[in-house]
């Protein structure tokens, strides 16, 4: 039984990689009935993405799968029939792909005027780069945000694919789709949501852009309050080679950090003298290298020193705070992040991944209103 604030909404997901399945996962976690449209494929063909179609494909959780050969006119007709019953469709193909399949927004809105048509790409649906290939790193680079990440004496550091694919792309798509579905309830009209990762990554930098315009953020990497330039907002190596993170910005928290760490060096009193920051970082590095990470945890964790150990992905689920909040859950033997955010009355739910593309076709069609005879004909004709 599903739960969540989006229960009762029907969403069609055109299966891809990266931000679109992440957005669909968020919608499914919150209770939406999300039908994945997988491609009918030769199971013996090479698979460059080995987790797809397995329980390890965490971003596929909570959805059922219908496999269609969209080169077939009858399969496209079936998809349009499904569009007629859906609240939203999400896709992450290069601009023009859905149109060439005969499944673009105009065709879908002719079938269902209330449909929200969510699209996520790197560069957006229009603009000089719209048709160019790219990946997360390229989109974040163009947004101006990548330049600010990393050490001053090294090239900008890739922030995994969190800022473009998932923060700037998937989350923006999910947010846009929910916004448009709310508006459609009042207007009775759907619309297209154009989520571009360059736009989203730029939006994530709103505060930093404000600081830059104010003149309090330097264009130099590693010279600012939040980019590792400040000695009191940085990561440090410990005696055992593991790491800690300190973020003691406010004076009272900074003072607490120094008191608990047992430092009486008067140089630390010059917290906001930027000329002293490089020297203070060296002093902090020497101080934190005197104890192991766990020793610093015992001393600082849970205090107002603004401290946390830097945990790896295997450690994080077992930290007492994460365990108490159930930040990670076990689904089918796979540890993964729990749905977020939390709801007091209609909680989300992490449900298992469909074991194989297309395996739920008959069940999901039945739930969406197809009769047993109609499903049998579709199977007999090799449409599903």
CATH 3.30.1540.10, the chain: domain bounds: 233-321
DSSP state string for 214-261: HT-S-SSTT-STTTT-STTEEEEE-TTS-EEEEE--SHHHHHHHHHHH
Whether residue 146 is predicted with pLDDT greater than 80 in this model: the reply is yes
Per-residue confidence band for 224, with pLDDT thresholds at 50, 70 and 90: very high
Q: In this predicted structure, what is the pLDDT of residue 360?
A: 85
The residue among 271, 274, 301 whose CA lies nearest residue 284 is: 271
User: How far apart, in Å, are the Cα atoms of 237 and each of 97, 155, 243, 289, 314?
Assistant: 48, 21, 5, 6, 19
Residue 44 has what pLDDT? 63
DSSP state, residue 32: -
CA 111, CA 105: separation in Å to the nearest integer?
A: 10
Q: Give me the pLDDT at residue 47, please.
A: 65
pLDDT at 50: 74
Which 8-state DSSP code applies to residue 299? H
The one catalytic residue among 165, 194, 199, 360:
165
Q: pTM of the prediction?
A: 0.95
Q: Which residues pair with 67 in a beta bridge?
A: 38
Query: Does the structure show a pLDDT above 90 at 24?
Result: yes
Taking residues 74-79, report their average pLDDT: 96
Is the pLDDT higher at 149 or at 382?
149
135 catalytically annotated:
yes
User: Radius of gyration (Cα) for the chain, nearest Å?
Assistant: 25
**Mean pLDDT (whole number) for 111-133:** 97
Confidence of residue 1 (pLDDT cuts 50, 70, 90): low
Q: Across all residues in the chain, what is the average pLDDT?
A: 95
- pLDDT score recorded for residue 358: 84
Of 312, 5, 29, 313, residue with least CA distance to 171: 29
Place of tokens 């739930």: 367
DSSP for residue 347? -
> What are the angstrom distances between the C-alpha of 8 and each of 1, 3, 16, 89, 239?
12, 10, 24, 15, 54
| Sequence ranges of the chain with CATH classification 3.40.50.10540 | 10-204+328-380
Q: pLDDT band for position 276 (50/70/90)?
A: very high
| Residue 49 pLDDT class (50, 70, 90 cuts) | confident
> What are phi and psi for residue 245, nearest 5 degrees?
-125, 130
Residue 305 burial (10 A CB sphere; 0-12, 13-18, 19+): buried
Position 101 scores a pLDDT of 96
Per-residue pLDDT tens for 281-311? 999 999 999 999 999 999 999 999 999 999 9
pLDDT reading at 234 higher than 80:
yes
Catalytic: 147? no
Residue from 135, 240, 294, 367 carrying the catalytic annotation: 135
pLDDT digits (tens, 9 = 90+) for 182-200: 999 999 999 999 999 999 9
Q: Which CATH class is domain 10-204+328-380?
A: alpha beta
Cβ-proximal residues to 261 (8 Å cutoff; 6+ apart), any chain: 287, 299, 300, 305
pLDDT at 41: 67
Other residues' Cβ atoms within 10 Å of the Cβ of residue 317: 17
pLDDT band at residue 258 using 50, 70 and 90 as cut-offs: very high
The topology under which CATH files domain 233-321 is formyl-coa transferase, domain 3 (3.30.1540)
Q: What are phi and psi of 246, to 5 degrees?
A: -120, 140
Give the N- to C-terminal CA distance of the chain in Å, as an integer: 25
At 311-361, the pLDDT tens digits run 999 999 999 999 999 999 999 999 999 999 999 999 999 999 876 788 888
Cα–Cα distance, 316 to 213 (Å, whole number): 37
From the list 92, 103, 100, the residue with the least C-alpha distance to 125 is 92
Contact 148, 208 (CB under 8 A): yes
Question: What are the start-end ranges of the H helices in the chain?
Answer: 19-29, 73-83, 97-100, 105-111, 136-143, 171-187, 197-204, 206-214, 251-261, 277-288, 293-300, 320-325, 361-367, 372-380
Helices vs. strands in the chain: H and E counts, helices first: 14, 11
How would you label 192-225 residue by residue, b for 16+ Cβ within 10 Å and e otherwise? bbbbbbbbbbbebbeebeebbeeeebbeebbbbb
According to the model, what pLDDT value does residue 42 have? Answer: 63
């Amino acid at each position: 039984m599903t739960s969540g604030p989006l229960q009762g909404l029907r969403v069609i997901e055109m299966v891809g990689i990266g931000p679109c399945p992440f957005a669909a996962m968020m919608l499914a976690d919150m209770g939406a009935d999300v039908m994945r449209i997988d491609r009918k494929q030769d199971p013996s063909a090479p698979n460059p993405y080995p987790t797809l179609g397995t329980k390890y494909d965490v971003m596929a959780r909570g959805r059922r799968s219908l496999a269609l050969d969209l080169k077939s006119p009858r399969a496209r007709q079936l998809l349009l029939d499904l569009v007629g019953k859906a609240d939203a469709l999400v896709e992450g193909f290069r601009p023009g792909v859905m149109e060439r399949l005969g499944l673009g927004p105009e065709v879908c809105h002719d079938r269902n005027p209330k449909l929200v048509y969510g699209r996520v790409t790197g560069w957006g649906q229009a603009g000089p780069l719209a048709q160019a290939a790219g990946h997360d790193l390229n989109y974040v680079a163009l947004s101006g945000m990548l330049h600010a990440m990393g050490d001053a004496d090294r090239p900008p550091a890739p922030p995994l694919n969190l800022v473009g694919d998932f923060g700037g792309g998937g989350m923006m798509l999910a947010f846009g789709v929910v916004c448009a579905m709310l508006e459609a309830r009042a207007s009775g009209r759907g619309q297209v949501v154009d989520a571009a990762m360059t736009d989203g990554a730029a939006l994530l930098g709103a505060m930093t852009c404000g600081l830059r315009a104010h003149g309090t953020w330097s264009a130099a990497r590693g010279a600012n309050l939040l980019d590792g330039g400040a000695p009191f907002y940085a990561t440090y190596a410990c005696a055992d080679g593991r790491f800690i993170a300190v973020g003691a910005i406010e004076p009272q928290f900074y003072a607490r950090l120094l008191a608990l760490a047992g430092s009486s060096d008067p140089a630390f009193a010059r917290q906001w003298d930027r000329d002293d920051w490089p020297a203070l970082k060296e002093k902090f590095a020497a101080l934190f290298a005197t104890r192991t990470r766990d020793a610093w945890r015992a001393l600082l964790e849970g205090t107002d020193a603004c401290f946390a150990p830097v945990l790896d992905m295997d450690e994080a689920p077992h930290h007492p705070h994460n365990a108490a909040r159930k930040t990670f859950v076990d689904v089918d033997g796979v540890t993964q992040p729990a749905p977020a955010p939390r709801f007091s009355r209609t909680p989300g739910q992490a449900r298992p991944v469909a074991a194989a593309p297309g395996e739920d076709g008959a069940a999901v069609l039945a739930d969406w209103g197809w009769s047993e005879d109609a499903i049998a004909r579709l199977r007999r004709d090799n449409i599903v």
